[in-house]
Amino acid sequence: MNHRSLAFRLAVWYALLLSATFALVGAGMFYGLEQYLRSGLADSLRRRSTQIEQILSEAPVDASDSTIVDSIETRLAPEFNNRFVRLTRESSGLVYRSGVPADRSFDPAAIPPSPPPWPARGIARRVGGLMESTKAIDTPSGRYLIELGASLAPIEAVQAHLVRLLGMLLPVLVACAAGGGYLLVGWALRPVDRISQSAELMSLQDVDARLPVVPSGDALARLSISLNNMLGRLRESVQTSRRFLADASHELRTPLTVIKGELQEVVRTETMSRELHDRIGSVLEEVARLEHLVSGLLVLSRLDVGDAQREWVDVDLAELSAGTAEQMRLMAEDRGIRLETAALRPVVVHGDRARLKQVIVNLLDNAIRFTPRGGTVTLDTVVNDTYQALEIRDTGIGIPAAAVPRIFDRFYRVDEARSRADGGAGLGLSIVRSICGAHRAEIEVDSEVGRGSCFRLKFPLQA
Amino acid sequence: MRLLIVEDDRKLAEFVARGLRSESFAVDIAGDGREGEGFIDAYQYDLLILDLMLPRLSGTELLRRVRKSHPTLPILVLTARDATDDKVAHFEAGADDYLTKPFDFAELLVRVKALLRRTPQERADVLRIGNLELNRLTQQVRRDGRRIELTAKEYGVLEYLLSNPGRVFSRTMILEHVWDQSFEGVTNIVDVYVRYLRRKVDEPFPVKLIHTVRGVGYCVRDSVSAAE
């Protein structure tokens, strides 16, 4: 699971928010319930207190204490109802105290007496584990203090139960929320995923491709539509620049033919001084370079447009490169360079034979050009589980690490002076890259200054 | 022999026409597709040289129409495109041969002559110049009666140069004929092979046969027969 993904973060926030809400609601419920239960208890105590008041006020002035006690026990049954009742007369002290309650939740004898002064209006207070309601009344037979109590334990038991229940529900709820949230976000983002997958498959080769538009009428639909519009504009600008490149190199060819032709005719037919002859010859050499440059540009613009694959056949790179090396062997030997092809093993790829040959020629030409006398240029093949590759290694001057990422750029030269003097147009490697791109091959370059370079063309195994 | 050049670039058309006239062809020039069509309807031509990028009526369209009205007229297409795709398309549309700009006039001439079937006899089995002799059947080269051992590419270069003694062959022509297009631009590959060829063919002998024409290319010439 990606911890930085939108889905993950949204789910976490969602879970946090939900837990906080749940905790707040839980706390509210807890205190609300407590208030409710306590006020209910206080009410019931007050009602009992009123009953005792009635008993006292209805009793004749000369009624004995036992009569009062009897009617309290009959009317209230405090032990049975788990209530505490204590009646005190100001003049003579304790009149009645209830016994041990049925549930034995408190000890009546241990309840401390209410401190004076006696409240004229009933008050509720908390004494030990009891809620006590205390009230003083005046009757013809004297001033009495009525104390009524009930254990808080049942309320506390309900509260504890509630806390346990909430504590158990919270993790379950958070887990459900997080999981559900993650799934929901994932589901909501699926169209975005589809858009990005289609975008991933696009390349400059098929600029006409469009992203699927989600018909949801919301931000997603607008996103895919605006991406498509952007693709449209991008396509136009790519096509304009390609057309320009193709047109420009194309337009240059006719005048080049005329310049070359006329000059060649002059050299062939006119009698002239040696110096003039040499000058025209030098111009012609530059024309040849221009010609090479223009045809390189044209090849590139064509590769940009994307080659038709109908000429693709199975090509054995080993056989092709061995043959190509043979055609260039003398050139290498002339420079005192050994051309090694013994290690080649068959590597069959599907592609355009002429273009693949162009790749090999360009890479071999470079290797030979940048390897000093006495060096070796080796052609090798590598086959493993995921790819098959052709390697062109040299013991040449190498490429500085900083330059490696740029060597495939058009017109880039590692050593300006040297390559120009050699007549390189600076297009060879970018043609190599374009052709490899069209064949879905990857180019790897290992190079060390002073030790040599290795160009590896990796063709993915056909699935 | 009357030829028609349909080419909108005046200078190129005139340059080609001049070259062909000096080879004693009669040459007309049409500047666009419609004019070209008019010429073809009005006169009898032996060969049509056609540029594909033409104003008013495109070369491709003209090619199709001419092929319909003149099924046997040889057509040489000039174009700045060299994609194999285009090539196939144009052969399908009826072009007999195909030349990519920028071309060497010498190459154009070779193609024109081939199309006019003027040069069927060029393929002699034994090519000779001075005391140099190349036998196409045995692929043996002798000079002054002595056998010279050549590698396949050296033989190829020499045979090509000898096929038309006195004519200058450009490096591009040699490259395309003996190697192939992929080698275009490879550093001095032709020069290296010619140097090795010279070492074997010319160095041991007082008379040099292989000549360099700077900026243009190479030619084989017996200096006695073509004194400058």
Tens of pLDDT, residue by residue over B67-124, are 888 888 899 988 776 555 566 666 777 788 888 888 888 889 888 988 887 544 556 7
Q: How far apart are CA A173 and CA A441, in angstroms?
A: 52
Q: Classify burial at A417, counting beta carbons within 10 Å of its beta carbon; exposed 0-12, middle 13-18, buried 19 or more.
A: exposed
Kindly determine whether residue B183 and residue A327, on different chains, have CB atoms separated by under 8 Å: yes
Residue of A nearest to B219 (CA): A268
* Order of all β-strands in the sheet with A376-383: A338-340, A376-383, A387-394, A452-460, A442-448
Kindly determine whether residue B105 and residue A287, on different chains, have CB atoms separated by under 8 Å: no
Cβ–Cβ under 8 Å, residues A109 and A124: no
Across the interface, which of B102, B180, B183 has its CB nearest the CB of A257? B102
User: What share of chain B has pLDDT > 70, as a percent?
Assistant: 89
Tens of pLDDT, residue by residue over A374-432, are 999 999 999 888 889 999 999 988 889 888 888 888 888 777 656 555 556 678 888 89
Q: Where are the domains of chain B?
A: 2-115, 124-220
Q: Which two tokens stand for residue A21?
A: 């809400």
Q: Which helix (H) or strand (E) holds A305?
A: helix A274-305
The SS3 assignment for A454 reads strand
Kindly determine whether residue B15 and residue A262, on different chains, have CB atoms separated by under 8 Å: yes
Question: Who contacts A267 (Cβ-Cβ below 8 Å, separation ≥6)?
Answer: A277, A280, A281, A284, B213, B214, B215, B216
The SS3 assignment for A315 reads strand
B59-69 and B33-42 helices, crossing angle to 10°: 20
Supply the pLDDT for residue A203.
Answer: 63
The answer to whether B214 contacts chain A (CB < 8 Å) is yes
Count other Cβ atoms within 10 Å, centred on residue B156. Answer: 18
DSSP one-letter code for B31: S
Q: Which of residues 45-104 of B touch A (CB under 8 A)?
A: 53, 80-85, 101-104
Kindly determine whether residue A250 and residue B80, on different chains, have CB atoms separated by under 8 Å: yes
Query: Which residues of chain A are under the pLDDT cut of 50?
Result: none
| Min distance B2 CA to chain A CA atoms (Å) | 22
Supply the pLDDT for residue A378.
Answer: 94
The string of DSSP codes covering B188-218 is THHHHHHHHHHHHHTTTSSS--EEEETTTEE
Residue of A nearest to B228 (CA): A271
Q: How far apart are CA A106 and CA A403, in angstroms?
A: 91
Chain A residues whose CB is inside 8 A of the B9 CB are 254-255, 258
Q: How far apart are CA A202 and CA A217, in angstroms?
A: 24
Q: What is the pTM of this model?
A: 0.64
Identify the bridge partners of residue A142 per DSSP, sorted by sequence position.
A139
Q: Which two tokens stand for residue A229?
A: 């519009």
Q: How far apart are CA A164 and CA A144, in angstroms?
A: 44
The string of DSSP codes covering A333-350 is HHTT-EEE-TT----EEE
For chain A, the helix, strand and coil percentages under 3-state DSSP, each to the nearest 5? 55, 15, 25
Query: What average pLDDT does this structure show over B59-68?
Result: 86
Q: Residue holding tokens 């062939």?
A: A268
| Min distance A398 CA to chain B CA atoms (Å) | 19
Q: How far apart are CA B160 and CA B174, in angstroms?
A: 7
| Min distance B133 CA to chain A CA atoms (Å) | 24
Question: Who contacts A461 (Cβ-Cβ below 8 Å, separation ≥6)?
Answer: A385, A386, A387, A388
Identify the bridge partners of residue A391 per DSSP, sorted by sequence position.
A380, A456
Q: How far is CA B199 from the centre of its chain?
A: 27
Best B186, B189, B192, B228 residue to mutate vs chain A (most A CBs within 10 Å): B186
Best A295, A359, A363 residue to mutate vs chain B (most B CBs within 10 Å): A295
Kindly determine whether residue B16 and residue A298, on different chains, have CB atoms separated by under 8 Å: no
Q: Which two tokens stand for residue A84?
A: 């505490």
Q: How far apart are CA A216 and CA A229, in angstroms?
A: 18
Reported as a pLDDT band with limits 50, 70 and 90, residue B227 is very low
Q: Which two tokens stand for residue B61?
A: 């369209």
Question: Who contacts B47 (Cβ-Cβ below 8 Å, separation ≥6)?
Answer: B1, B3, B4, B73, B74, B75, B76, B112, B115, B116
Best B53, B77, B101, B192 residue to mutate vs chain A (most A CBs within 10 Å): B101
Across the interface, which of A284, A354, A369 has its CB nearest the CB of B216? A284
Q: How far apart are CA B12 and CA B137, in angstroms?
A: 40
Supply the pLDDT for residue B225.
Answer: 46
Residue B161 pLDDT > 60, yes or no? Answer: yes
Kindly determine whether residue A256 and residue B101, on different chains, have CB atoms separated by under 8 Å: yes
Q: Which helix (H) or strand (E) holds A158?
A: helix A153-201
Question: How far, CA to CA in Å, does A191 sit from each of A185, A188, A216, B127?
Answer: 11, 7, 10, 74
- Residue A117: cis peptide before it, omega within 30 degrees of 0: yes
Best B171, B187, B213, B228 residue to mutate vs chain A (most A CBs within 10 Å): B187
Cβ–Cβ under 8 Å, residues A37 and A207: no
Sign, Cα dihedral of B51, B52, B55, B60: positive
Across the interface, which of A281, A285, A302 has its CB nearest the CB of B83? A302
Q: How far apart are CA B6 and CA B48, in angstroms?
A: 8
* Order of all β-strands in the sheet with A130-139: A93-97, A83-89, A142-151, A130-139, A123-127
Count other Cβ atoms within 10 Å, centred on residue A125. Answer: 13
Q: Residue holding tokens 């000059």?
A: A263
The string of DSSP codes covering A347-382 is -EEEE-HHHHHHHHHHHHHHHHHTS-TT-EEEEEEE
| Closest to A352 measured CA to CA, from A303, A298, A291, A300 | A303
Residue type, B166: G
Chain A residues whose CB is inside 8 A of the B83 CB are 302
Strands B97-100 and B75-79: parallel
Tens of pLDDT, residue by residue over B25-44, are 899 999 888 899 999 998 88
Cβ–Cβ under 8 Å, residues A427 and A304: no
Kindly determine whether residue A354 and residue B181, on different chains, have CB atoms separated by under 8 Å: yes
Question: How far, CA to CA in Å, does A45 sit from each of A51, A97, A420, B180, B192?
Answer: 10, 15, 109, 114, 121
CATH 1.10.300.10 at B124-220, yes or no: no
| Min distance B137 CA to chain A CA atoms (Å) | 23
DSSP one-letter code for A146: E
| Min distance B80 CA to chain A CA atoms (Å) | 6
Q: How far apart are CA A385 and CA A461, in angstroms?
A: 8
Tens of pLDDT, residue by residue over A335-354, are 899 999 988 889 999 888 88
Supply the pLDDT for residue B183.
Answer: 82
Cβ–Cβ under 8 Å, residues A303 and A438: yes
Q: How far apart are CA A294 and CA A249, in angstroms?
A: 5
Q: How far apart are CA B201 and CA A390, in angstroms?
A: 38
Beta strands in A301-344, from DSSP E residues, in sequence order: 313-316, 338-340
Residue A60 exposure: Cα atoms within 13 Å on the Cβ side: 5
Tell me the CATH number for domain B2-115.
3.40.50.2300
State the maximum Cα–Cα separation within chain B, in Å, rounded to a whole number.
61
Supply the pLDDT for residue B85.
Answer: 56
Q: In order of start, what are the domains of chain A with their CATH numbers?
A: 6-157 (3.30.450), 219-305 (1.10.287.130), 309-460 (3.30.565.10)
